[in-house]
């Protein structure tokens, strides 16, 4: 029997078993980004055959997709997933107090600086052992976005989405700007735009 930081007792493994199972789903392109919570003894699931997940996936389509993933995980591992869903905005507004209270065993959140903030405060648990097993499924950039400032892994990214940058061609023509094709060119353009007071 193993006791996780949140008080979850599991035989021989921990809530990382969920992350390993979902990490396998990541290779198939399905899932949800998860962090492992660091809570007091009152948080998380109440028995060794259940892991709790704090979720902001309240819309019908992702909620259904995640339910299917969790059902497959239960079938594979024998461990049930108890999902506590809040609407996205409420979850985001309450994340700080949620993590300092009695959080679920794992929770949905964002990569990069948003995750690093909570990891630095000790509100997330390192899951380097998970990354040792699933790291080969991810490009280096995703690995880095899953790490805290201490270099430890806290996050399993299971989907990505693009961010677009829109611009007005007329402004580019007026200022003589070229459309950047590399990150360095974009940074240089942004600095020039700042100088131009845009």
Domain membership of residue 126 as a residue range: 50-146
Q: Is residue 44 part of a domain?
A: no
Q: How far apart are CA 115 and CA 132, in angstroms?
A: 19
Evaluate if residue 103 carries a pLDDT over 60: yes
The answer to whether residues 166 and 127 belong to one domain is no
Stretch 4-18: mean pLDDT: 39
The answer to whether residues 133 and 177 belong to one domain is no
Q: Is residue 171 part of a domain?
A: yes
Farthest-apart Cα atoms in the chain, separation: 68
Q: Is residue 25 part of a domain?
A: no
> Between helices 60-77 and 16-27, what is the axis angle to 10°?
110
Q: Is residue 100 part of a domain?
A: yes
Q: Which residue has the tokens 């007091």?
A: 40
Evaluate if residue 44 carries a pLDDT over 80: no
The answer to whether residues 56 and 142 belong to one domain is yes
Instruction: Answer whether 0.95 is exceeded by the pTM.
Output: no
Tell me the pLDDT tens digit for each residue of 132-158. 999 999 999 889 889 999 999 999 987
The answer to whether residues 131 and 98 belong to one domain is yes
Q: Is residue 8 part of a domain?
A: no
The answer to whether residues 129 and 76 belong to one domain is yes
Q: Which residues pair with 53 in a beta bridge?
A: 83, 106
The answer to whether residues 95 and 141 belong to one domain is yes
Tell me the pLDDT tens digit for each residue of 56-101. 999 999 899 999 989 998 999 999 999 999 998 999 999 999 999 9
What is the pLDDT, as a whole number, of residue 174?
A: 96
Tell me the pLDDT tens digit for each residue of 105-128. 999 988 888 899 999 999 999 999
Total domains present in the chain: 2
The answer to whether residues 67 and 123 belong to one domain is yes
Q: Is residue 40 part of a domain?
A: no
Evaluate if residue 42 carries a pLDDT over 60: no
Q: Is residue 125 part of a domain?
A: yes
Q: Is residue 77 part of a domain?
A: yes
Q: pLDDT grade, residue 196 (50/70/90)?
A: very high
């Amino acid at each position: 029997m193993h006791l996780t930081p949140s008080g979850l007792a599991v035989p021989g493994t921990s809530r990382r078993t969920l992350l390993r199972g979902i990490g396998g789903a990541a290779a198939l392109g399905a899932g949800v980004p998860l962090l492992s919570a660091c809570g007091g003894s009152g948080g998380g699931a109440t028995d060794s055959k259940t892991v709790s997940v704090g979720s902001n996936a309240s819309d019908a389509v992702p909620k259904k997709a995640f339910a299917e993933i969790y059902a497959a995980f239960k079938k594979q591992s024998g461990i049930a997933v108890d999902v506590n869903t809040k609407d996205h905005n409420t979850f985001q507004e309450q994340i700080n107090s949620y993590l300092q209270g009695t959080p679920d065993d794992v929770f949905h959140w964002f990569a990069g600086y948003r995750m690093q903030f909570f990891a630095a405060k000790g509100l997330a648990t390192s899951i380097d052992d998970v990354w040792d097993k699933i790291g080969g499924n991810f490009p280096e950039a995703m690995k880095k976005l899953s790490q805290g400032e201490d270099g430890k892994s806290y996050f399993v990214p299971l989907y990505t989405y693009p961010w677009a940058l829109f611009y007005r061609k007329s402004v580019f023509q007026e200022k003589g700007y070229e459309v950047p094709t590399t990150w360095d060119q974009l940074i240089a353009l942004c600095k020039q735009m700042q100088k131009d007071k845009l």
